[in-house]
Amino acid sequence: MQFINTRPVERAQTLTQCLRQTGIDVVELPLLELVARPFSVQLQALYSQLFDTQVIVVVSPTAVQLGMKYLQESGIKLSQLQHIKWVAVGQTTAQLLQTYGCESLVPEVETSEGMLSLAIFNNNKNLKKIAFWRGEGGRQFMMQQCVSDQLEVLNFVLYERQLPQKTFIEYQRFMHSYQHNQTYINCISSEASWLNWLLLNQQNFELINQCHYLVLGERLYQILQEYKKKNAMCFNISILESLKASTVLQHVTELQRNV
């Protein structure tokens, strides 16, 4: 059995170390890298609208770092935003927000659906305006839902998400040791990661079909199920509640017992 760690380089190390300490073979093939967009006139205009914004949704640690950096560049002090309610996609993002003195709401399941289930989105008739600190292409489902609910949405695109060029080289190295009878476990954390995995394997459907996928949340599970059905594949899928190393380890350990 081999675990394919597809998390971005800056987030992969903790999971890799946790799994290797228990004797699990891990190969790192990051499917996303996050590249900052420069501060712009458009971002300045968005920051100036935060004074009457009620909620900021922060989707990653990178979004925290860039969002706070550009807040400073906009000339707005964090102390001027004490009216803001913060929502973090997960505990790691929440902990980083806390270093800036910002307490945040965190969903039990670290997905868009999980965040939308928070009481602030369901029991707050006064909620009118919400901002997203995010990367290009991320959290489209959640933003669309907010627009459908008649909320004004401020879209802060702080970084690009792309398949690292280095991963193509690492993938070729990985394929030299690829085994047809091997069990591979693959952690997929977003639709963008899944699409990049398909891109990486566009000449290797066998590996796509050979993996057992650990996916974050029900919506991603349904995306993979649809692909599986459409392409007559037979890979297995399990749902992760979070991307915590301990949670992933628990699932991998259970799968090991069944091999």
Task: Give the count of alpha carbons within 13 A of 228, CB side only.
Answer: 15
Query: Quick one: pLDDT at residue 172?
Result: 95
Please state which of the four CATH numbers 1.10.1740.10, 3.40.440.10, 3.40.50.10090, 3.60.10.10 is assigned to the domain occupying 35-160.
3.40.50.10090
The confidence band for 259, taking pLDDT boundaries of 50, 70 and 90, is low
- Name which of 90, 93, 85 is nearest 123 in CA terms: 85
Higher pLDDT, 8 or 95: 95
Q: Does residue 37 register a pLDDT over 70? A: yes
Percent of the chain at pLDDT exceeding 70: 98
Q: Supply the mean pLDDT for the chain.
A: 91
* SS3 per residue for the chain: CEEEECCCHHHHHHHHHHHHHCCCEEEECCCCEEEECCCCHHHHHHHCCHHHCCEEEECCHHHHHHHHHHHHHCCCCHHHHCCCEEEECCHHHHHHHHCCCCCEECCCCCCHHHHHCCHHHHCCCCCCEEEEEEECCCCHHHHHHHHHCCCEEEEEEEEEEECCHHHHHHHHHHHHCCCCCCCEEEEECCHHHHHHHHHHCCCCHHHHHHEEEEEECHHHHHHHHHHHHHCCCCCEEEEECCCCHHHHHHHHHHHHHHC
Q: Would you kindly state where each structural domain of the chain is located, as residue ranges? A: 2-32+163-186+202-213+233-258, 35-160
pLDDT (tens digit, 9 = 90+) per residue, 18-33? Answer: 999 999 999 999 999 9
Judge whether residue 181 has pLDDT over 90.
no
Give the pLDDT confidence of 232-251 residue by residue, as tens digits.
999 999 999 888 899 999 99
Which stretch of 211-215, 221-225, 240-244 has the lowest confidence by average pLDDT?
240-244
pLDDT digits 0-9 by tens, 120-172 = 888 677 889 999 999 887 667 778 888 888 889 999 999 998 999 999 999 99
pLDDT digits (tens, 9 = 90+) for 47-100: 999 999 999 999 999 999 999 999 999 999 999 999 999 999 888 899 999 999
